[in-house]
Chain A
Amino acid sequence: MLLLLFGIGPVAFAFVSALGLSDVRGVLSPFARAIGDFRFLPALTNVAIYLAISLPLMIVGVVALSLLVDTLRRRWAAPLLLVYTLPGAITGAAAVMLWYFMLQPALSPFGPALRAMGFERGPDIFNNSFLVWIFALMAFAVGFGQWVLVVTGALKSVSEELLEAARIDGCSAWQTAVHVKLPLMRRTLLFMLILAFASGIQIFVEPQILHSVAGVGSTSWSLNQLGMTYAFLNGDFGSAAALSMLLFAVCLVVAVFVLVRGRFLDTEHEQ
């Protein structure tokens, strides 16, 4: 019922708005306006580069840290996992502010380190060419802890016999990780990929807030920001809905693609 009220209902409403049936400028014109806007391509490019950086970073980082945690003894692994999940406790707007203070050389406790790397002043770090990296770092810091927790959980379910068998067959720790553990993490990683893609393509809070505090980026840096501009600055709810429908469609296609190509729903036997 909640899904109906707050999920399917709004999507259906957005779909109807996006079709432009009540639009004076014609049916389907919201899509044309949304895509034809001069800010669309730059926003699309920004988000695409951001995804190209943040998704691999997330996957490689989570896999590496999970394998590391898994090789440790329980005594060390538990506190380490706790430490990993801590950055995830600060999310959204608060995380952006935290990162702003951390990366602003004049305010950061790591100021000397930043200056040593050649970042003398705020604009040296907060400039348009570094933005995607900053956002990718933020997303990683906020998200990696919980995923390492989930993935190590999945690894714990690997039976001792299997690992024992691998050892007897002469697998090194590296070979065990790549040939035994990695395939067993696959489903969790695919699930993570779908969710990280969906949240990444909708990036909004980070560029919006960083623009207002550090004057970097713009109010239409990302696609979701652009959607808000369409709706609430231009008063064009139709093209905002059309843009949202496009994002929704892309997420849906990617999710289905990952599920099908990743044989996510196959049973153990079929594999």
Chain B
Amino acid sequence: MHSPARSTRTAMIAAALVAPLALSACAGSPSQEQTESDPTAPVVVWTDSTRQPGFEAYAAAHPDVDLEITVYKPAELISKVQLFNASGSGWPDVVFAPAQGADPYYEWAASLDDKIDADTLEGFGTANRPCEFNGKTYCLVNDVSQMVLWYNADLMAQFGYEVPTTWDEYADLGKRVAKEHPGYLIGSAGSSFMYHSFFRAAGCPLQDVTGENEVHIDATDPNCVAVAEMLDELIAAGVVSNLDLWSPELTTLAQEGKVLMHPGASWFGEFVFRPEASWAFGEGTLAAAAYPKWSGADEAYSANAGGGTYIVSKHAANLDAAVDIATWMATSSEYQATAPTYPAYTPVLGEWGERISADPFYAEDPMPVLAEAVDLINPINDYTVRYDVETAFGTVIVPVATSGGSIADALPKLQEELKNLAQSVGYTVVD
């Protein structure tokens, strides 16, 4: 006998089996790119909480534009975009996110070259390089995190040391500190940030984009080996710590005044050296010097340790307004002058820097040094790639460094890891 209950169940199972097929069929249909901009359509904005006041200021200044602001975690952008790409709808219109999200590989970001005037783009100098993919601009950089050599001016004067201008001098000073003032630190290499401050800055080719979906990776390049050997030597001497930059142990050492100098990003001053809960440097002790020059390099290059960007979706219904919002956030002095991080858009720099220049926290005004460093980002690793070199450092190099092993010996393993990673996200690797 065929009971009604049983046939219902059969129908439900059938539905459960068919429904996914129907869903996946929907996902297959390509979505149309928006061609006409609808000026009345609301603009969906995704931002982190730090940039939220900026978007709110735009909304207040432009009552005719309907903004829907959502606070989200920028690191999740790519996963969300992949989901929306699969389902064919749901993309936000303007986001604050890392530059990876703008990669045309994800078929989501709008190309901005014909939407923003050339003068505006020129205002960024080289700072918008992370947003350039295959020669086209897909986002606007909000902030730069160029490197400088931060140092404790009081201690340096007290010990009678000169600030090093090359990495050879830095290493020599390290050896002197080890002998004359053991316990004091001139840097740390126990977290994946060492990729930016040392390897990336030195032009060790780990994300050297050479063409569309083509990248040059060579962790055993002489530039990489030289940096690794320098770090191994200075860690062994005890003057470069192999503690994690964010670890409670290093924080304690810094609070005890043991950090003589530390290469770091432009935001280290405000966010690492200054806060009471962090390294708690006293007023008038911190100063910034130009990044030392790598031997064999033609300039004193540093690296850009990332910074946020504004990306516009090519699916945005109100594309004109979306582009305007992104441009306003990145370039208007109303917002950028109040931003917590170093602006990528040079024309607003004067206004932004006033606060820093007048700040008694710094032993001397760090603005001239910071401004000079912005133009000296090593171009070799400055373009954005889809794999995360920092993560690879965390997996391969950091455990070796923190356990007292040789970083130089771990480079071949890093090469293998990066090559695999790059290939897994669609790159052809040239080594």
Interface residues of A (CB under 8 A from B): 4, 8-9, 12-13, 16-17, 21-22, 37-39, 104, 106-107, 121-123, 127-128, 211, 214-216, 218-219, 231-235, 237
Contact = CB atoms under 8 A, between A and B. Distances in A.
B192 interface: yes
Interface in B308-324: none
Interface string B375-413: 000000000000000010011001100110000000000
A236 B178 CA distance: 50
Interface string B267-305: 000000000000000000000000000000000000000
A73 B28 CA distance: 65
Given A16-B20, A121-B243, A127-B403, A218 B82 contact: no
Q: Interface SS of chain B: helix, strand, loop or mixed?
A: helix
A234 B16 contact: no
A231 B76 CA distance: 12
Given A38-B420, A106-B247, A121-B249, A231 B20 contact: no
Q: How large is the interface on B (under 10, 10 to 19, 20 to 34, 35 or more residues)?
A: 35 or more
B243 A16 contact: no
A232 B16 CA distance: 25
B425 A22 contact: no
Contacts of B27: 22
B244 A234 contact: no
Given A4-B16, A12-B20, A104-B248, A235 B391 contact: no
A234 B391 contact: no
A166 B394 CA distance: 59
Contacts of A211: 394
Given A122-B249, A128-B399, A218-B391, A235 B244 contact: no
Given A123-B402, A215-B191, 15 more contacts: A12-B19, A12-B20, A22-B27, A38-B420, A123-B190, A123-B242, A123-B399, A123-B403, A215-B244, A216-B399, A218-B395, A231-B82, A232-B78, A233-B79, A235-B82
A21 to B, nearest CB: 8
A214 B19 CA distance: 42
Contacts of A235: 78, 82, 85, 106
Contact of B394 (A104, A107, A122, A218): A218
B23 interface: yes
B252 interface: yes
B24 A22 contact: yes
A215 B192 contact: yes
Contacts of B399: 123, 127-128, 216
A208 B244 CA distance: 18
A243 B245 CA distance: 35
A107 B17 contact: no
B425 to A, nearest CB: 6
B156 interface: no
Contact of B247 (A38, A122, A237): A122
Given A38-B420, A215-B398, A218-B395, A8 B24 contact: no
Contacts of A9: 16, 19-20
B60 interface: no
A38 B425 CA distance: 12
Contacts of B242: 123
B16 A12 contact: yes
8 contacts: A13-B20, A16-B21, A16-B24, A22-B24, A38-B420, A215-B244, A215-B394, A235-B106
Contacts of B190: 123
